[in-house]
Amino acid sequence: MTNKIQIMVVDDNQSTRENIRKLLELESDMDVAYEAASGEEALRKARISPPDIILMDINMPGMDGIAATEAISTEVEQSQIIVVSVQGEQEYLRRAMAAGAKDYLVKPFDGNELLECIRHIYAREQKRREKIVRVAPAKVSMGKIVTVFSTKGGVGKTTVATNLGAALGLDGKTKVGIIDLDLHFGDVALFLNIVPNTTIADLVQDIDHLDGSVLDNYMTRYKDNIRVLAAPFRPEQADSVNLNHLTTIIKEMQYNYDYIIIDTSPTFSEMMLSVLDMSDMLVVITSQDLPTLKNVRLCLEILESLNYSEDKVKVILNRAKSLGGLNVRDAEELLQRKLLTLMPSDGKTVVSAVNQGMPFIVSNPKSQIAQSLFELANFILSSRGDVKRESEPEANSNNGITAFGWMGYRAF
Ligand SMILES: Nc1ncnc2c1ncn2[C@@H]1O[C@H](COP(=O)(O)OP(=O)(O)OP(=O)(O)O)[C@@H](O)[C@H]1O
Ligand SMILES: [Mg+2]
């Protein structure tokens, strides 16, 4: 039979492996494809020939079951891991689930419990894959991920992310999902005057069932076509979100939204690096003061060392021409980059918009600062060929958009 569930048993104890093998091989739908006595061996074998299910012991010499689970679930998507451990290791179990395990069993367990668990996880994964196969070809293109980033706090990331999201979705049709990835102190909901009932911390509890409608249940409506996945209510809940969760969420969002705007916190954490990696475009924000410029330059150097192209990384200047700042040319020289957009300093418009709980592109669309945001939105639309305007500007609008110059954005 070819459609048997292929299983790898990982345990440093040979007799445990043999007992499990004997039990599983009595089942006509299961096949113990191979065994491994350590985390390293499991990883090596899974990379070469991924089984459907891996039964993973936790305590093993060398690479333990948690480290192996993390490595395999990141690298070998096809294999689903069920962690097996002795009683009294609840903390390990929690860590194993956070590392990407799909389920766990506590020893001693009943044979039927094991068989049922394997069949359940296998069937769920098959269903998930069928869904992906069904959904994927129906979509012409996946949602584009735009991450708003800076290594400095308070430079305007949330201001840009919320206004950009609102601008991209202002036609009432373009579907925009905003993820608040400032997991500790996110305030996207506040900027948009919406009150979430659920946040990303709730969504990760349901991650194994994630599909478009489940995702929808956890997003907060700003407009019908613009929705927000809010940051956790409390900073201590931030730790419940791991990289695997985030990758799954972002991928699902790509099936359901045209644009995914990600607001961030100013850190280069491992999670953030992965998000930057997944992004189609990074909007890096700087201001004109020397410490921020130095900081942003360092940030750009790191992004360059990650081989991100200049097309992917775009720098915008916020609070342009604010008093005491360096001039734009100096800023560009220091950063060795052309600035894509200049957003003026406009406390009156920005603060009154926040106080009204409205993006300024809505409350004051004619202001220069709103125009600069439309310009950014237009650049993003045009770089995907979705540009919407009455009259076409000169060809090659991807390059050389200068600030405050072009007021011809008419889509909205
Ligand atoms: N161009 C601007 N003119 C005037 N005020 C601005 C401008 N841009 C942002 N602000 C204000 O600066 C403050 C910080 O902006 P914002 O919260 O968007 O920054 P942030 O980078 O998201 O900060 P954090 O790192 O804390 O998340 C806010 O009070 C915002 O209203
Ligand atoms: Mg912010």
Round to whole Å and give the CA distance between 309 and 307.
6
In this prediction, residue 353 has a pLDDT band, given cuts at 50, 70 and 90, of very high
Amino acid, res. 409:
Y
pLDDT at position 131 over 80: no
Number of independent structural domains in the chain: 2
pLDDT of residue 151: 86
In this prediction, residue 406 has a pLDDT band, given cuts at 50, 70 and 90, of very low
* Ligand 1 atom closest to the CA of 347, numbered from 1: 4
Quick check: 343 and 372 in contact, CB under 8 A? yes
- Kindly state whether residue 410 falls inside one of the protein's structural domains: no
In the structure encoding, which two tokens stand for residue 392, read together? 């076409």
Are residues 150 and 79 both part of a single domain? no
- Residue nearest to ligand 1 atom 29, measured at CA: 351
Among residues 53, 16, 17, the alpha carbon closest in space to that of 35 is found at 17
Are residues 113 and 178 both part of a single domain? no
pLDDT at position 398 over 70: no
Q: What is the pLDDT of residues 42-62, one digit of tens each?
A: 998 888 889 999 999 998 998
Are residues 124 and 268 both part of a single domain? no
* Ligand 1 atom closest to the CA of 161, numbered from 1: 18
Helices and strands per DSSP (H, E), number in the chain: 16, 13
Ligand 1 in reach of 17 Cβ (< 6 A): no
- Kindly state whether residue 51 falls inside one of the protein's structural domains: yes
pLDDT of residue 87: 62
* Ligand closest to the CA atom of residue 296: 1
Q: What is the CATH number of the domain that holds 353?
A: 3.40.50.300
| 106-115: Cβ within 8 A, 24+ apart | 109/84, 111/23, 114/20, 114/23, 114/24, 114/55, 115/23, 115/24, 115/27, 115/30
Residue where one domain finishes, among candidates 117, 137, 157: 137
Are residues 53 and 196 both part of a single domain? no
- Kindly state whether residue 171 falls inside one of the protein's structural domains: yes
- Kindly state whether residue 345 falls inside one of the protein's structural domains: yes
Q: What is the pLDDT of residues 246-259, one digit of tens each?
A: 999 999 999 999 99
Are residues 119 and 246 both part of a single domain? no
User: Residues 89-108: what's their mean pLDDT?
Assistant: 84
Q: pTM (2 decimals)?
A: 0.66
Ligand 1 in reach of 103 Cβ (< 6 A): no
Q: How many CA atoms lie within 13 A of 354 on its CB side?
A: 13
Quick check: 338 and 317 in contact, CB under 8 A? no
- Kindly state whether residue 262 falls inside one of the protein's structural domains: yes
Q: E strands within 135-287? A: 144-149, 176-180, 220-223, 226-229, 259-263, 281-286
Are residues 191 and 247 both part of a single domain? yes
The residue segments making up the domain with residue 324 are: 144-382
pLDDT at position 169 over 90: yes
Comparing 140-149, 176-185, 372-381, the range with the smallest average pLDDT is 140-149
* Ligand 1 atom closest to the CA of 351, numbered from 1: 31
